[in-house]
Amino acid sequence: MKKLKMAVIGTGMAWDRLHFPALQELHEQYEVVALANPTQEKLVKAGEKIGLSKGHLYTDYHDMLKKEEIDVVNIAVPISMNYKVSLDVAKAGKNLICEKPLAPTLEEAAHFIEFPKKYGIRIMIAENYRYNEEINIIRNLVEEKKIGNPLYFIYHNVVNFPEEMKKDTFAGKEWRQYPDFPGGIFLDAAVHDMAAIRYIFGDMDKISAFGQPREDSFCPYTSIHSQFLFRNGLIGHFIYWTKGEESQKPAIGLRIFGTEGMIYLEDKNCGFINVFYNDGRHELIPFTPQRGYYNEFLNYYNSIMGKEEIQVPPIVEFGDTKTIFDILKAMETQQVIEVQSMGTYLTQDMNKNKKRKGKTATKEDKSKKPS
């Protein structure tokens, strides 16, 4: 079996706690050959953990891209760096896997979509929710109409970010506490939920949203309430609560109501999906939590081997990211947002860029003195 030679940019918490354990299970598919991190201490520690010699550790990832023989680069950096680092890797002609969201702005996200074709590389965005067992089971239940025709759903995600900030957790990272990207932790974390919602139910037509403003730097809202009208007529309600120390159990979780029953997922780690039928029957479906990381790396390997397509290419993740920005816009304007199709949005964005470039060129031309 051919092993893919992987280089890693960013050896922090996401790499250490999420990516590396999954890759250990896939030791026949991947070999980590080089690591890059600007912080020497973190770099050396990560290298020692996997047994890499100092010659394959880099504080400047540009040097790594030039010197190492690489099949794929795994990018696990703060959100504000995703686009820039991915662009550098793409320009070097390397296949890449990048953490979600693919960029901190919609403009950069739209450009990201062009990378595979422009640079002739294969890209996967590591959106683990689309690979999680429970989400795929629920998607199949909905598609198979186990509860009849879906009518509406409620999805309630509660986090206690202020308390988590004090611990050795992802919330403890300074770049999450003082984000330099729109929406703060709502973009960082709720993009997972948007991925799951869009994967299960399809494309949205309209979005409305309201938020309770807060002064904390990590998120502009204490709670975010959004409603979706899907193109298939389904209605959904998503709530994201950033300061949920008062929350009660069992959680509202994800509840999907259909003409013949209800699907209930308490949370992503509970291990069971409940299906209640109108005739009184009840089904309990087990799942293994947190398998998304393993499944996404396996999917990418199989895509390189020509066995399957990448499940989350940049254009798919762009839709998830754009949904977050649409919710933020709906709260800011207090208006219903009509969701543009990907093609329409991207065409308009490209036309805007052409106009900007034209204006810039005109100014430069005018500033030039005649020879």
For the residues 92-121, what does the mean pLDDT come to? Answer: 97
Six-digit token string for 70: 């690489």
What are 37-46's pLDDT values in tens digits? 999 999 999 9
Using pLDDT thresholds of 50, 70 and 90, give the confidence band for residue 177: confident
Using pLDDT thresholds of 50, 70 and 90, give the confidence band for residue 248: low
Domains and their CATH numbers in the chain:
4-127+293-312 (3.40.50.720), 130-289+325-333 (3.30.360.10)
Whether the pLDDT of residue 340 is over 90: the answer is: no
- Round to whole Å and give the CA distance between 11 and 356: 37
Neighbours of 161 (CB within 10 A): 22
For residue 349, the model assigns a pLDDT of 58
Q: What is the DSSP string of 102-144?
A: S-SSHHHHHHHTTHHHHHT--EEEE-GGGG-HHHHHHHHHHHT
- Round to whole Å and give the CA distance between 95 and 331: 37
For the residues 300-325, what does the mean pLDDT come to? Answer: 97
Q: Which helix (H) or strand (E) holds 265?
A: strand 261-265
